[in-house]
Structure 1
Amino acid sequence: MPKIAFNKLYLTGREEKYISDALAKGSVSGDGYYTKKVSSFLEKTFNLNKVLMTTSGTHALEMASFLVGFEEGAEVIMPSFTFSSTANAVLKAGAKPVFAEIKANTFNLDPLDFENKITAKTKAVIPVHYGGISCEMQQIKKIARANNIYIIEDAAQAVNSFYQKKALGGIGDLGCYSFHGTKNFVSGEGGALIINSEDQSLIKKAEIMREKGTNRSQFLRGEIEKYNWVQAGSSYLPSDILMAFLLAQLEEIETITARREKIFHYYSQELRKFLEEDFLDAIPELPAAKKSNYHIYYLKFKNQRIRDFVLQELNLAGIKATFHFQPLHSSPMGKKLGYQKSDLPITEAAASSILRLPIYPDLSFSNLKYIIKSLKKIFKELKLVGG
């Protein structure tokens, strides 16, 4: 019986070479040679206005929240079906997270519930592109503009995903990427803040915030004679060693994506027919306007009991499958903010019934066939007992 990991680090073969080169250059702190190379790569590849590399996707979200500038009592609408970083960034910047429902077929923010949650205090919305599949950005953007609301895209899972041929992270006012070890393209820890506004004062403010509140970036460019502390900030710059690793990954972005795509479509080809059964509710769907990076492959079952049974059986078969986000609104912190489990029933139903399958570039075809064979065996048992 094989032991199949849920996720495995994929190495392109150039990571060590670039790290050694970074060490040889003698400068491994922030905004070094490789950091600049990565920023330029992302800007050119995805046609992004300005990319600032950060120490994590979490820090990119924090920077975006501080840049918007939330006054006391401000509210920010977001899905509850996301990682805690989305809400923590807002809280850290002094605003209140307002949790809205997701769409049952995508697990992305429901534009209608976003609109329903808008009040006079609403300052921003954070659409989270779940699994690398875009939110309904045209609708969200229309609602946000009509209500003078900032859009901060949480594109942590969506590097190399697109909506209407526009790179995710590059549609809202600000965007945030993650290069955490669990993502498609990794640096271990790392992220990026995308500034889509052409307002140069906003870019300048972000650079200063990222450089511990100093105007050091201007000094390094020769624009000023010395640098000083000019505003509040923090240390958001990643080491050039991490960016050397990331560049090696990004140079293989199409190869990595193509390998994931092949696995994604094989799963769908083999599993779509089970949607006719009374135990399986949904698999990922890709509308024509949305190009995915194939970050996640999930199965949504009719209820938690079935999901937990399938998860248990897969693990017994040596296949490491897993569930995903626990809703923020019904977490201990969410309850402190005044939410109850019953507030978002679609979110709760999704969180309790979703199961994620292994998907990574080095997943062999023999292991992939074994996963499908194991699922079919489990599904046969479910059919025999009526789900």
Structure 2
Amino acid sequence: MLFLTPFNRPHLTGKEAHYMYDAVYEGKLSGNGKYTKLCQQFFENRYGFGKCLLTTSCTDALEMAALLTNIQPGDEVIMPSYTFVSTANAFVLRGANIRFCDSRSEEPNIDTELIDSLITPRTKAIVPVHYAGVACDMERIMALAAKYNLWVVEDAAQAIDSYYTFSDGTKKALGSIGHLAAFSFHETKNIISGEGGMLAINDERFKARAEIIWEKGTNRSSFFRGEVDKYGWVDVGSSFLPSEIVAAFLWAQLEHLEQIQQRRKAIWQTYYEGLQEWATRHGIGLPVTPPYASNNAHMFYLVCQNLEQRTALIEHLKKNQILAVFHYLSLHKSPFYAPRHDGRELPHSDRFSDCLVRLPMFYDLDVERVVDELIKF
């Protein structure tokens, strides 16, 4: 009898319940306490982010970014079509028009060669998405942003512990390059808290206001630091701050980040080495990592020749108790946004929508079993 291999299984380090228990008996559950501060300091110190604020989700972090960049109705925001709906929703909620950009031919990230042609006097921001934790060409994106005076918001939902190398050899963590960056700690990510996210603020102009928006539009944090003698409603904002229970769970994960990453990279390498010959024989693409990017082993994906081949592959694995999934559908063709799209064809985005399949990826995965079943296909 075959046991089910799920697409994902959340990994526990062993300290999650202990720290959550400790948070309860600290007597402060509402957030911005001991564990929130520990997590935020960890990211700032390890990756060089300017200021970090934990959020209840990556979606919330993106919505904060849209507020901070003062997106107004009619403003235009450039992003890939091949991304999760939250990337677009955060800016659509502020009234923005989305200018969807195609993916690169060899991998799903935004084709930076096409961005220039999409910039108009209404363009306010570029939102690169580091798909699979692999860097977009951030040097080119930041150059375009400087040339046209645009904001850059990195959607780094999948990109924790991943890096970009500039042409001069300088290496920087993804999420530390753009003016703002959003991360996810959803249970499918490398480092998890069930649901959860973080906003990284790398531009000094946003730091004070970000904290106010984070605290429901009040200067409450300044009050507790003794910087003001009372606090009140001073700006727009919302309830973006997670509880200490969420932060305590996340802290247990962060203490084991290196161990988690080492294991995930070993699984990724086993996939790559085990499937190279088979993939070449069947015309199936393996993940591509550009020379300027690192690999954080967030996911392992295949690019089939067509939709029919992908459907058959997923069905073959399912019959053998292995769950693999396709990923995003091109947002420019979605029922919600298709009527607003400008009609441009985005063939590479559509190809990845039809052909890309994600394989199981989690800490205690029996990866050899998945490789063996794929080779039988």
Shorter-chain-normalised TM-score: which range? over 0.9
Letter in 2 for 1:368: V
Q: Does 1:162 align with 2:163?
A: yes
2-side partners of 1:137 and 1:304: how far apart?
31
Q: Does 1:279 align with 2:280?
A: no
Does structure 1 conserve the Cα–Cα contact (< 8 Å) formed by 2:278 and 2:375?
Answer: no
2-side partners of 1:190 and 1:235: how far apart?
13
Per-residue deviation, 1:278:
4.5
Once the two structures are superposed, the pairs formed by residues 209-358 of structure 1 within 5 Å of their partners are: 209-280=213-284, 282-338=285-341, 343-358=345-360
1-side partners of 2:279 and 2:10: how far apart?
31
Once the two structures are superposed, the pairs formed by residues 1-387 of structure 1 within 5 Å of their partners are: 1-164=2-165, 165-199=171-205, 202-280=206-284, 282-338=285-341, 343-363=345-365, 367-378=366-377
Per-residue deviation, 1:288:
4.1
Per-residue deviation, 1:269:
0.4
2-side partners of 1:235 and 1:125: how far apart?
25
CA RMSD in angstroms, aligned pairs only? 1.2
Cα deviation per residue 1:181-229 (whole Å; 9 max; x = unaligned)? 1111111111111110123xx2111111111111001001111111011
Per-residue deviation, 1:343:
1.9
Per-residue deviation, 1:145:
1.2
2-side partners of 1:323 and 1:352: how far apart?
8
Letter in 1 for 2:52: V
2-side partners of 1:232 and 1:211: how far apart?
10
Per-residue deviation, 1:274:
2.9
1-side partners of 2:327 and 2:45: how far apart?
33
2-side partners of 1:267 and 1:292: how far apart?
14
2-side partners of 1:351 and 1:104: how far apart?
13
Does structure 1 conserve the Cα–Cα contact (< 8 Å) formed by 2:137 and 2:292?
Answer: no
TM-score of the two chains, using structure 1 as the length reference = 0.94
Report sequence identity in percent: 43
2-side partners of 1:310 and 1:37: how far apart?
44
Per-residue deviation, 1:344:
1.0
Letter in 2 for 1:305: E
Does structure 2 conserve the Cα–Cα contact (< 8 Å) formed by 1:279 and 1:306?
Answer: no
Structure 1 runs, 4 residues or longer, greater than 6 Å off: none
Report the secondary structure of 2:79's partner residue. strand
Match in the other structure for 1:385 = none
Per-residue deviation, 1:121:
0.8
Match in the other structure for 1:383 = none
Per-residue deviation, 1:113:
1.3
Per-residue deviation, 1:105:
1.6
Report the secondary structure of 2:99's partner residue. strand
2-side partners of 1:139 and 1:290: how far apart?
13
Letter in 2 for 1:293: N
Report the secondary structure of 1:77's partner residue. strand
Per-residue deviation, 1:279:
3.3
Per-residue deviation, 1:285:
2.6
Per-residue deviation, 1:231:
1.1
Structure 1 runs not aligned, ≥5 long: 379-387
Does structure 1 conserve the Cα–Cα contact (< 8 Å) formed by 2:68 and 2:210?
Answer: yes
Per-residue deviation, 1:275:
3.9
CA 1:214–1:304: 2 relative to 1, 3 Å: same
Report the secondary structure of 1:94's partner residue. coil
Cα deviation per residue 1:308-331 (whole Å; 9 max; x = unaligned)? 111100110111111001111101
CA 1:171–1:375: 2 relative to 1, 3 Å: same
Per-residue deviation, 1:25:
0.4
Cα deviation per residue 1:1-32 (whole Å; 9 max; x = unaligned)? 23101100100000011001000101010211
1-side partners of 2:239 and 2:282: how far apart?
52
Per-residue deviation, 1:339:
5.1
Per-residue deviation, 1:292:
2.0
Structure 2 runs not aligned, ≥5 long: 166-170
Per-residue deviation, 1:120:
1.1
Letter in 1 for 2:289: L
